[in-house]
Amino acid sequence: MASQFLDREKRNLAEPGLPFVSTELDSVRSYQWEFSLFIPEGFPGNSVDFSRAITLGAKQIDGFGFEYEDIEVSRMNDKIYYPGKISQQELTVTFDNLLNFKEGRLLLDYVGTVYSQRTGKSFTPDTYKTKARIREFNGAGEIQSVIDLIGAYPKSYTRGEKNYSTSEFDTIQVKFRYDFIEIYNGEVEAPGGILDALGGDLAP
């Protein structure tokens, strides 16, 4: 079988239009995305638009995914491996501390749904475990894929460095743990309940 990239019949520059290599290799850009959280009902308890603040403030997402632990079986001189338990990697999101939304306090209040340092109270999982969603777009602003991280909750909260010599925005880094990952091609229907409480702001 001839190489797809060396097939001259598909790369005839004399014909009108672009050769297949120029169209088939277009990819999702790493900068065309949005992040959102389906926050628990009743949060926040103020007038701040949480969903909009989180989506606009998110500036970077570190690589994430999952892997299987190895089960090693030894027999004589051989070693055989089988897939074991699955281990989900952490999701790390860096947010700009925007002046209009003050993500620093907003995110701290959300992290406080796991354990409130203000009151010393812990909450139940149905209060803080939720869904995080990453939407990937093409150049026309159309959704190409949706990544849902199910059972997500905030694990850590870190403020950015303060330094007079830089010209950077103030940032907040939040790490999330999650139970499952699901990827959809194109648009997906948003669940009800939480969206209804937010006025549909997070609907894809």
Q: d(Cα 96, Cα 88) in Å, to the nearest integer?
A: 26
Q: Residue 32 — pLDDT band, cuts 50, 70, 90?
A: very high
pLDDT recorded at residue 2: 63
Give tens-digit pLDDT for 58-93: 999 999 999 999 999 999 999 999 999 999 999 999
Picking from 175, 59, 40, 44, the residue whose alpha carbon sits closest to that of residue 106 is: 44
Q: Residue 49 — pLDDT band, cuts 50, 70, 90?
A: confident
Average pLDDT, the chain: 82
pLDDT recorded at residue 158: 94
Q: d(Cα 172, Cα 104) in Å, to the nearest integer?
A: 6
Which class for 150: exposed (0-12), middle (13-18), buried (19 or more C-beta within 10 A)?
Answer: middle
Domains of the chain, earliest start first: 29-64+81-197 (2.30.110)
- The alpha carbon of residue 72 and the mean position of all alpha carbons in its chain are separated, in whole angstroms, by 32
With a cut of 50, say whether residue 193 has pLDDT above it.
no
